[in-house]
Structure 1
Amino acid sequence: MTFSQLRTFARVAKLGSLRAAAASLGVSEPAVSTAIASLRTELGDPLFTRTPMGITLTPGGRALAAHAEEIIGLAEDTRRDVKHASSHERQLRVLATAAFAEHAAGRLFDLFGKWVSSDAVDVIVESADDIATLLRERAYDLALGARPGLANSSGLELVPFFKYQRVVVASTRHPLASSTGPIPLDKLLSVRWFAGPGGFEPLTEEGRWFGRLSALPDVIELTSETDALSAVAGGEGVMLALGHVAASRITGVAGHPTDADRTPDLVRLAVADTPISGLWWATTLDGGRATDAARIVQRLVTTAEATTAIVSPTGSRGLSRRGNKFHVALWS
């Protein structure tokens, strides 16, 4: 078997479709079929069966998918080590889910720079759905933010490090701001909702909260949660905001304002099953396969110093846009 065949099969297993794998790899569908056929012949296993819903991996196919991800990851590590062999600096590659990248990554890695001054860091936003695969393929050393699904957590070490809350907020001038009791679902569904890019990860508590609604509201996704909060403050709708991020702008619960000496522009709405509590996680490969720098970050995020940095209202968030990816711009 060849490295190309393994990469092809890993992509088919991940995407559940030969056509999708071909598009992702930039090759023709017949090329994907040929690679799969060669693996089937060599291994004596059909690897997957076709169903009306797509493909289903055989036990042998699941084993091959896991090994293929590992081999691809080792190859990427080898390329990187050879490229940087003459340098003492190794790049730390961090996957962050969107909310963590926007609200915490810059400040956290400013702090990390005081711990480990020699490592360059690149933080890129990806979906929580892809964490397990991207870590196994060694595309990233560490993932921060939402956790991967339980079904995909084998071979990973997950450390919870920050408990947050999401609250429903609206402008003090919004019609719902005068509500004195729990807001009925039909009223919530009748107004516009705002969110950052990608909305809310299905694997987060806030994503599951949305999934439990009898109907989904109209959600407008902006380029950042900061922009979404500004739109809400302008009276354009409501959103599930991070409590510690919006706290200084919130007057209190709708119908029960507090802190009259301030001039806040938001109010927290009384909505069933809110505030929503969630956790951010630091995820690496287990069994001693994580890099030293990734282990340092995994230890750092559990410290009181890191928590203080994350909730600080000042300091660099460090979020910038490059093409279709978000990067955290750190020190030079």
Structure 2
Amino acid sequence: MTPTQLRAYSAVVRRGSVKLAAAELEVSESAVSLHIGQLRKELGDQLFSRTAGGLTFTPGGLRLASRATELLGLQDITVLEVSAAGQGRRLLRVGASSLFAEHAAPGLIELFAGRAADLDLELSVRNPCTFVESLIERAIDIAIGPPPLSPDPAVSCRPVMYYRVVTVASPDHPLAGTQPTPRQLREQTWLLGPSAVSGSGALRTLLRRLGVPDDRQQIFQSHAAALEEAKRGRGVTAALSFTVAPEVRKGHLVQFRGPHAAIEEVWHSMTLAEPATPSAAGELARFASTPRAIQAMMRGTGVGVARFKPSVHVTLWS
């Protein structure tokens, strides 16, 4: 697949016809048809067919439509990155677990990025189980989240920040004001963020320790979304203690007490062992465990609208 082929296909999807796609791209209809034909041959899929009501896409065609948008978006980012590198700018690629990325990374990265005018930072959410592989393959420069289950001599790992995951629910929840037993917690409906399906991390460890069955777990796109559902009284959720403390103090949430309802863990930074570690990655690994950085992670500095640059899988600070 070439970018030209993907752009032609995306235009057909967007416009609903080869004729309109050709007009948008300022090429001939035969050129667009040629690109579509090449994609069909390479992928072994018809992708779409013409009907009286317009174009009808196959399941494979719909899948390619979303992937084409992602790939073209990444191509545009790469062009910008190469151009920036040619102007002397550095790029630091940070991979993070979903829990860290959602709640702690914004404050840390905003603070760190402000220290170097020539540095761009790219944050991507990754499964902690892939941290070591991503570092070795040079897909990222530094990973932050749960440490690897098995140490790897190629990767340097250092502690960043202790954190506590607690179990909370609406004040109207039947167990509010009690110290529930493991069995009572196990029988609840758990409203969870994406880190619940990763292979490691405090939230996953808590669920395993309690033995919460899969049919009692509801997974949401973000931990904040799961927390909002818990506030509405639809179940219990596990959350970072420092993120829910204000809501607990205001009485908007109740925190369950007892050793079974909470767990403490440590986020670690992981980089390739020296001398393979990029200098910026080493700087961030050292900076992340400082008191100032920890304060920023817990309180957040916010990202100004002019500096927030979303893309398909990554967020860029520059």
TM-score, structure 1 as length reference: 0.65
Contact 1:97-1:126 within 8 A present in 2 as well: yes
The match for 2:149 is 149
Tell me the CA shift for residue 128 of structure 1.
0.6
The match for 2:219 is 221
Matches of 1:154 and 1:117 in 2, distance apart?
33
Matches of 2:209 and 2:184 in 1, distance apart?
16
Tell me the CA shift for residue 119 of structure 1.
1.0
The match for 1:183 is 180
**Residue type of the partner of 1:172?**
P
Tell me the CA shift for residue 207 of structure 1.
1.9
- The within-5 A match list for 1:275-294 is 275-294=262-281
1:40-99 residue CA offsets vs partner (Å, 9 max, x unmatched): xxxxxxxxxxxxxxxxxxxxxxxxxxxxxxxxxxxxxxxx99887633112111111101
When structure 1 is superposed on structure 2, of 161-170 and 305-314 the one drifting more is: 305-314
Tell me the CA shift for residue 329 of structure 1.
4.3
**Residue type of the partner of 1:190?**
E
Tell me the CA shift for residue 299 of structure 1.
1.2
SS of residue paired to 2:239: strand
Contact 2:231-2:253 within 8 A present in 1 as well: yes
Q: Does residue 160 of structure 1 match 2:147?
A: no
The partner residue of 2:260 within 273, 284, 302 is 273
- The within-5 A match list for 1:54-73 is none
The match for 1:114 is 114
Q: Does residue 202 of structure 1 match 2:199?
A: yes
**Residue type of the partner of 1:162?**
M
Q: Does residue 328 of structure 1 match 2:312?
A: no
Tell me the CA shift for residue 271 of structure 1.
4.2
User: How has the CA–CA distance of structure 1 residues 303 and 172 changed in structure 2, closer, same or farther, with 3 Å as cutoff?
Assistant: same
- The within-5 A match list for 1:34-183 is 86-151=86-151, 153-179=152-178, 182-183=179-180
Contact 2:169-2:230 within 8 A present in 1 as well: yes
TM-score, structure 2 as length reference: 0.68
Tell me the CA shift for residue 147 of structure 1.
1.7
The match for 2:232 is 234
Matches of 2:168 and 2:194 in 1, distance apart?
18
User: How has the CA–CA distance of structure 1 residues 321 and 183 changed in structure 2, closer, same or farther, with 3 Å as cutoff?
Assistant: farther
Matches of 2:258 and 2:309 in 1, distance apart?
33
Tell me the CA shift for residue 202 of structure 1.
3.1
Matches of 2:150 and 2:308 in 1, distance apart?
29
The match for 1:211 is 208
SS of residue paired to 1:240: strand
Matches of 2:177 and 2:246 in 1, distance apart?
20
For structure 2, the 5+ residue unaligned runs are 1-41, 45-79
**Residue type of the partner of 2:219?**
E
Matches of 2:136 and 2:223 in 1, distance apart?
29
**Residue type of the partner of 1:159?**
R
User: How has the CA–CA distance of structure 1 residues 320 and 117 changed in structure 2, closer, same or farther, with 3 Å as cutoff?
Assistant: closer
Contact 1:167-1:243 within 8 A present in 2 as well: yes
Contact 1:194-1:221 within 8 A present in 2 as well: yes
The match for 2:55 is none
For structure 1, the 5+ residue unaligned runs are 1-25, 29-79, 252-262
Tell me the CA shift for residue 208 of structure 1.
2.2
User: How has the CA–CA distance of structure 1 residues 204 and 319 changed in structure 2, closer, same or farther, with 3 Å as cutoff?
Assistant: farther
